[in-house]
């Protein structure tokens, strides 16, 4: 019986490995769990072990790049050499019994379990299968992460409900409804034997590996898969990069640190004289990336807001000197007492909450033919996350102090960058604040975060001359913008609200006194 040995899963983010070295030769007899080859990813080196005793048949060659689940070699079980046959002769009966037991295991496993899309939130009816973590046909353990599901609000991990062999049904990129079948697991299987640690008795293979690590390198100057991509993007020849990996292999870190050698002036002039077109040519590469579910949903909602609301934007400007002076005076004491820095967002949030109390229409929303007024302020803060714009919510911001707001903003921002925000943390909100100033924006017209009726846009702070009491002075000024739904908020309310926010920011004492 021939048994295929495949590349085992070696990490969530690793999709391919390089066969760096064969520890056994084609046709050699190998014992179960004996190290037969060395695999290398862009992060680490792994040992491939034999899942059964028998004669090795090499399929992949040294230096080949293999995907997870690809066949590396096969083992003809029981095909031992004459010497081995004599050694194992007395134990033939027990071995046969073992083989019979192992052959019966799949039959005993029998039952297939369907893994379906779980409910992930009240408002979510479908998700996208963004990535398979475990390859088709691989063995999984109970509660092991096998896939990533992505909704328009967050990313979720799908786990195995039992140990067994995974069989894919849905493909990456497929849109699935809640309750749809994603995959099946043939119950009773376990992790592939290739993931077991090498047997302690393999002293010779350990010596071989040590010798290989010290050798000048069969892989010297050869980049790992990820390193190869990085070098190609930089336009750097791998031969010019010194590798720090096993046997001199170029790792991902080596590629990231590599610099393109400066051209020699003489050679450059010669090339320009002989081939002027070559100097003027440049890269014209293009690449296509499928839109994520989050990005598609953002696009649909923004277009819907533009077409379904009577959106207008009004502008004003704020002299930020009073707040900046206050921060400079108390920021050290504030951080020492509260353990968090004093930023601009807490001042703007407090000012907005005060303004919403005076102009409740700005904090309202339209539902069918009714206007819903909220007597609380749940302020949404727009945050740029790795997978796109997300808007987590600070609940009851109107009842919070500056320190509590700063802590809430920091916590939500960290979760957003790590893709750990929950549905509850991004659901709701009565008013939104977005800060384009951190990216250098001077002025913009932010789009309303439906079903809310207004959004405040902050921008960068620029020193410029302004007239104050008949004198021209240099002040740090910021433009602020309020986009609002004119169906529910009149011009008087929108302008008055923005003026009130400006007054509170230019005189921060009002925030503390409530006047």
CA distances from 425 to 39, 153, 309, 411, 435 (A): 42, 10, 25, 11, 19
Name residue 29's beta-bridge partners: 55
Residue 490 is among the residues annotated as catalytic for this protein: yes
Q: What pLDDT is recorded for position 102? A: 44
Domains in the chain, CATH or no CATH each = 2-109 (2.40.50.100), 112-187 (2.40.50.100), 225-261 (4.10.320), 293-513 (3.30.559.10)
Query: Cβ distance 481 to 314 under 8 Å?
Result: yes
pTM of the model: 0.51
Q: What pLDDT is recorded for position 277? A: 52
Residue 507 is among the residues annotated as catalytic for this protein: no
Among 398, 485, 486, 507, the active-site one is 486
Choose among 413, 405, 353: nearest CA to 382.
413
Q: What is the 8-class DSSP label of residue 47?
A: E
Query: Cβ distance 420 to 154 under 8 Å?
Result: no
Phi and psi dihedrals of 116, rounded to 5? -110, 165
Cα separation of 174 and 147, whole Å? 12
Query: Cβ distance 222 to 241 under 8 Å?
Result: no
Count Cβ neighbours within 10 Å for each residue of 323-336 and write b for 16 or more, e otherwise: beeebeeeeeebee
Q: What pLDDT is recorded for position 313? A: 95
Cα separation of 189 and 167, whole Å? 12
C-alpha 360 chain-centroid distance: 39
* pLDDT tens digit at each of 515 positions of the chain: 788 888 887 765 577 888 888 889 998 998 888 889 888 776 567 788 888 888 999 999 888 888 888 899 998 876 554 444 444 444 444 444 444 444 444 434 457 888 888 877 666 778 888 888 898 889 888 888 898 888 766 777 888 888 889 889 988 888 888 888 999 988 765 544 444 444 444 444 444 444 444 444 545 666 765 677 677 777 777 677 777 765 576 776 777 777 766 655 554 444 544 455 555 567 788 888 877 766 777 788 888 888 888 999 999 999 999 999 999 999 899 999 999 989 899 999 999 999 999 999 999 999 988 999 999 999 999 887 777 778 899 999 999 999 999 999 999 988 888 878 887 888 889 999 999 888 888 999 999 998 899 999 999 999 999 999 899 999 999 999 999 999 999 999 999 999 999 999 999 988 877 76
Q: What pLDDT is recorded for position 202? A: 42
Q: What pLDDT is recorded for position 12? A: 57
CA torsion through residues 331, 332, 333, 335, sign: positive
Choose among 380, 357, 353, 387: nearest CA to 446.
380
Cα separation of 153 and 423, whole Å? 7
| 3-class SS string, 104-124 | HHHHHHCCEEEEECCCCCCCC
Phi-psi region of 98 (alpha: psi -120 to 50; beta: other; left: phi over 0): alpha
Beta strands (DSSP E) in 310-453 are: 311-319, 365-367, 370-372, 379-381, 383-385, 388-390, 393-394, 431-435
Cα separation of 485 and 371, whole Å? 12
Cα separation of 250 and 227, whole Å? 7
Among 28, 103, 490, 507, the active-site one is 490
């Amino acid at each position: 019986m021939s048994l295929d040995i495949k590349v085992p899963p070696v990490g969530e983010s690793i999709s391919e490995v390089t066969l760096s070295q064969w520890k056994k030769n084609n046709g050699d007899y190998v014992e179960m769990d004996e190290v037969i080859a060395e695999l290398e990813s862009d992060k680490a080196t792994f040992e491939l072990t034999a899942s059964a005793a028998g004669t090795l048949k090499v399929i992949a060659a040294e230096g080949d790049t293999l995907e997870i689940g690809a066949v590396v070699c096969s083992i003809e079980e029981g095909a031992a050499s004459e010497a081995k046959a004599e050694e194992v002769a007395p134990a033939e009966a027990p071995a046969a019994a073992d083989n019979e037991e192992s052959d019966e295991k799949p039959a005993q496993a029998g039952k297939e379990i369907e893994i379906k899309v779980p409910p992930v939130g009240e408002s979510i009816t479908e998700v996208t299968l963004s990535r398979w973590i475990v390859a088709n046909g691989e063995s999984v353990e109970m509660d092991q992460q096998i896939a990533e599901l992505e909704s328009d609000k967050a990313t979720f991990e799908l786990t195995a409900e039992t140990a067994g062999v995974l069989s894919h049904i849905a493909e990456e990129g497929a849109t699935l409804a809640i309750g749809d079948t994603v995959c099946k697991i043939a119950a009773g299987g376990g992790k592939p034997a290739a993931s077991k640690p090498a047997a302690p008795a393999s002293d010779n293979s350990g010596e071989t590996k040590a010798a290989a690590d010290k050798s000048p390198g069969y892989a010297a100057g050869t980049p790992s898969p990820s390193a190869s991509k990085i070098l190609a993007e930089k336009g750097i020849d791998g031969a010019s990069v010194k590798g720090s990996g096993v046997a001199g292999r170029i790792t991902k870190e080596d590629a990231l640190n590599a610099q393109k050698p400066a051209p020699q002036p003489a050679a450059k002039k010669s090339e320009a004289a002989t081939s002027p077109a070559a100097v003027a040519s440049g890269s014209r590469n293009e690449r296509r990336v499928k839109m994520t579910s989050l990005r598609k949903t953002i696009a649909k909602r923004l277009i819907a807001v533009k077409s379904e609301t009577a959106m207008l934007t009004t502008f004003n400007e704020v002299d930020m000197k009073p707040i900046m002076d206050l921060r400079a005076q108390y920021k050290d004491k504030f951080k020492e007492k509260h353990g968090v820095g004093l930023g601009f967002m807490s001042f703007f949030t407090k000012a907005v909450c005060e303004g919403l109390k005076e102009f409740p229409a700005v904090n309202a929303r339209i539902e069918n033919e009714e206007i819903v007024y909220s007597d609380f302020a749940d302020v949404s803060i727009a945050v740029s996350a790795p997978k796109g714009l997300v808007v987590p919510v600070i609940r009851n911001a109107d009842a919070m102090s500056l320190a509590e707001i700063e802590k809430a903003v920091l916590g939500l921002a960290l979760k957003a960058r790590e893709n750990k925000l929950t549905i509850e943390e991004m659901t709701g909100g009565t008013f939104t604040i977005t800060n384009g100033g951190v990216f250098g924006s001077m002025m913009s017209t932010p789009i309303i975060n439906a079903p809310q009726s207004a959004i405040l846009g902050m921008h960068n702070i620029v020193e410029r001359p302004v007239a104050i009491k008949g004198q021209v002075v240099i002040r740090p000024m910021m433009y602020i913008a309020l986009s609002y739904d004119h169906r529910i908020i009149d011009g008087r309310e929108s302008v008055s609200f923005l003026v009130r926010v400006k007054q509170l920011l230019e005189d921060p004492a009002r925030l503390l006194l409530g006047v």
